[in-house]
């Protein structure tokens, strides 16, 4: 069951990431990496941050265990009422929050991009773009709540499609405005399209809600048996947002500090993060989204054997894919960035500076994915405070290292700090889980050893192929023979990796003998 759910979510997420790269390719071609792109990415960062904080785990972590308990104890009708109440309150709160944000946008931008204040044009442009993107916050939060409820009903595909809607909307906007040479003009409409995408996403989820026969009605009236569960949801939500979104919060800190660096620094970090997000999004988020409802059910049933087996299976998947992904991105960072973005306004210098940031972020890739998995047992046990404390600790480490490394290493130093803090977070989560008597199957240690060996073999093969084909895989369009070289290297690397695993005895993704 877990494998099936992960496959569905991963497939849709992979499609979304592909469209996301097409979107970013067009953005890089039109805006490049400079003042205008920095303004747009800051404006895009805030709603995108909320999308990742809510849509990629936190709303699920707080809502699913609570509503699952309600359905078990009171039935479907009570679960529908509880969902309606939370949705209605969230809509009211978000509406007034949005109005406040729109009024005080200059203050918000002063906080998240303090380095922009000295340049009045840059500061003013970012404020204008942000006011156009901010409404997306309300739409994505409501969309995520609906998605979390549908997940408890075994409906995972509809929520996984929502990022596809966002990417298609932005791509469609870029295609329409592609021939317009005014970057400021294009960025205005691109910012507006983000909020339009949010409206479309919400309508899509409401349609799926009706198809699932959920009895939804706008209400803010309390029902006494559900009041306790409502309070529990509120107590779980805030810690879950911080605990599950530490990677995004660290990237936000990086953005704040990067605003004080030369023009283009924010763009370099954005493009690097987009590449790093492929395995993180396709694997980490898919596993954590699928794992929570299943693990929560076994925790409620007090079935320790199945809980251990389910968690171990998730970690098994994570190890098999995260470590080789790190090795591949680390070695091929320059070639990947060149292949994806080197065209139009995106120069060779931009390629080099972005690839440095990607190398630094890739160092933390396995940790980023492990965090997504290791927080789930806490959430299943309705403990969001422990991951919160660990996350806050890692954020302090990230900020401290940022301040130490930023002067010498600029934007690359910020990326290094984020990766190091992620490893601290992941290892601490693992140690605390062990102290709480959460068990892991012993075969995981053997899997880790075999995955490392297979990944190293793959890395050596990649280096050999780079030397054979030529290190400078430069592309000016999608049809040059050098692009085929890079694709061939990646294909051969995947084949070599899985062949190595097969020869070492890992012949399937199921831990059961």
Query: Which of 217-226, 233-242, 346-355: highest mean pLDDT?
Result: 346-355
The pLDDT confidence band at residue 229, using thresholds 50, 70 and 90, is low
Q: Which residues contact 500 (CB under 8 A, 6 or more apart)?
A: 453, 454, 457, 458
Q: Would you tell me how many other CB atoms lie within 10 Å of the CB of residue 388?
A: 20
Mean pLDDT of all residues in 135-162: 85
Is-contact 490 328, C-beta < 8 A? yes
Is-contact 212 150, C-beta < 8 A? yes
Mean pLDDT of the chain: 83
Mean pLDDT of all residues in 273-281: 80
pLDDT at 481: 45
Mean pLDDT of all residues in 148-170: 86
Q: Which two tokens stand for residue 470?
A: 């030529």
What single DSSP character describes residue 364? T
Task: Encode pLDDT of 467-509 as tens digits.
Answer: 876 544 444 454 444 566 788 889 999 999 999 999 988 866 5
Q: What is the domain partition of the chain in residue ranges?
A: 2-441, 443-513
Geometric angle at alpha carbon 34, from 30 and 38, rounded to 5°: 95
Task: Encode pLDDT of 309-357 as tens digits.
Answer: 778 788 888 888 899 999 999 999 998 998 888 888 888 999 999 999 9
pLDDT at 513: 38
pLDDT at 283: 66
pLDDT at 498: 93
The pLDDT confidence band at residue 109, using thresholds 50, 70 and 90, is very high
Task: Encode pLDDT of 360-391 as tens digits.
Answer: 999 999 998 888 888 878 877 777 788 888 98
Mean pLDDT of all residues in 283-290: 64
Mean pLDDT of all residues in 99-114: 92
pLDDT at 51: 64
Mean pLDDT of all residues in 23-51: 86
Which residue did the predictor score with more confidence, 142 or 228?
A: 142
Task: Encode pLDDT of 53-96 as tens digits.
Answer: 665 556 666 777 777 778 777 788 888 888 888 888 889 988 99
- For a pLDDT cut of 70, what percent of the chain falls above it? 81
Which residue did the predictor score with more confidence, 48 or 358?
A: 358
Q: Which residues contact 299 (CB under 8 A, 6 or more apart)?
A: 307, 380, 381
pLDDT at 438: 77
Mean pLDDT of all residues in 424-446: 86
pLDDT at 274: 85
CA dist 450 and 440 (Å) reads 17
pLDDT at 278: 78
Whether 18 has a pLDDT exceeding 60, the answer reads yes
Mean pLDDT of all residues in 279-291: 66
Q: At what angle do helices 59-74 and 224-244 cross, to 10 degrees?
A: 150
CA dist 88 and 99 (Å) reads 17
Of the listed ranges 18-32, 214-228, 419-433, the least confidently predicted one is: 214-228
DSSP readout, 140-198? HHHHHHHHHHHHHTT--HHHHHHHHHHHHHHHHHHHHHTT---HHHHHHHHHHHHHHHH
pLDDT at 243: 59
What single DSSP character describes residue 509? S
């Amino acid at each position: 069951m877990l494998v099936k759910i992960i496959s569905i979510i991963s497939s849709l997420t992979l499609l979304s990431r592909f469209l996301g790269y097409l979107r970013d390719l067009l953005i890089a071609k039109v805006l490049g990496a400079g003042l205008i792109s920095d303004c747009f990415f800051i404006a895009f960062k805030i709603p995108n941050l909320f999308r990742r904080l809510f849509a990629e785990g936190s709303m699920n972590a707080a809502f699913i265990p609570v509503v699952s308990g309600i359905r078990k104890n009171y039935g479907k009708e009570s679960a529908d009422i509880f969902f309606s109440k939370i949705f209605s309150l969230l809509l009211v709160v978000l509406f007034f929050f949005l109005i406040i944000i729109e009024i005080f946008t200059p203050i918000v931008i002063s906080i998240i991009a303090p380095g922009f204040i000295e340049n009045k044009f840059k500061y003013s442009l970012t404020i204008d773009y942000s006011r156009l993107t901010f409404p997306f916050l309300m739409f994505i939060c409501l969309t995520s709540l609906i998605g979390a409820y549908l997940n408890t009903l075994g409906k995972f595909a509809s929520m996984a499609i929502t990022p596809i809607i966002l990417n298609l909307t932005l791509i469609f906007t870029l295609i329409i405005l592609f021939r317009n040479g005014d970057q400021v003009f294009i960025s205005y409409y691109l910012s507006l399209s983000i909020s339009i995408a949010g409206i479309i996403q919400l309508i899509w989820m409401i349609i799926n809600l009706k198809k699932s026969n959920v009895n939804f009605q706008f209400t803010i009236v309390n029902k006494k048996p559900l009041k306790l569960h409502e309070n529990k949801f509120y107590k779980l939500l805030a810690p879950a947002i911080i605990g599950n979104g530490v990677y995004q919060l660290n990237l936000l800190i990086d953005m704040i500090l990067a605003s004080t660096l030369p023009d283009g620094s924010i763009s370099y970090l954005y493009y690097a993060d987009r590449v790093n997000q492929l395995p993180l999004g396709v694997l980490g988020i898919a596993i954590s989204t699928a794992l929570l409802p299943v693990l929560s059910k076994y925790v409620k049933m007090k079935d320790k054997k199945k809980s251990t087996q389910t968690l171990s299976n998730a970690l098994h998947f994570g190890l098999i894919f995260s470590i080789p992904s790190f090795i591949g991105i680390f070695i091929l960072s320059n070639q990947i960035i060149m292949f994806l973005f080197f065209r139009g306004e995106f120069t060779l210098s931009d390629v080099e500076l972005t690839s440095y940031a990607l190398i630094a972020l890739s160092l933390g890739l396995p940790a980023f994915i492990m965090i997504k998995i290791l927080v789930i047992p806490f959430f299943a046990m309705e403990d969001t405070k422990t991951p919160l404390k660990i996350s806050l600790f890692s954020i302090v480490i990230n900020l401290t290292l940022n301040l130490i490394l930023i002067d010498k290493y600029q934007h690359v130093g910020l990326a290094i700090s984020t990766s190091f803090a992620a490893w601290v977070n992941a290892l601490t989560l693992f140690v605390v889980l062990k102290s709480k008597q959460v068990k892991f199957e012993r075969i995981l240690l053997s899997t880790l050893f075999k995955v490392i060996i297979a990944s190293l073999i793959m890395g050596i093969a990649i280096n050999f192929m780079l030397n054979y084909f030529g290190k400078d895989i430069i592309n000016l369009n999608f049809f040059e023979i050098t692009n085929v070289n890079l694709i061939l290297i990646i294909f051969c690397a995947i084949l070599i990796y899985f062949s190595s695993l097969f020869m070492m005895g890992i012949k399937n993704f199921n831990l059961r003998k």
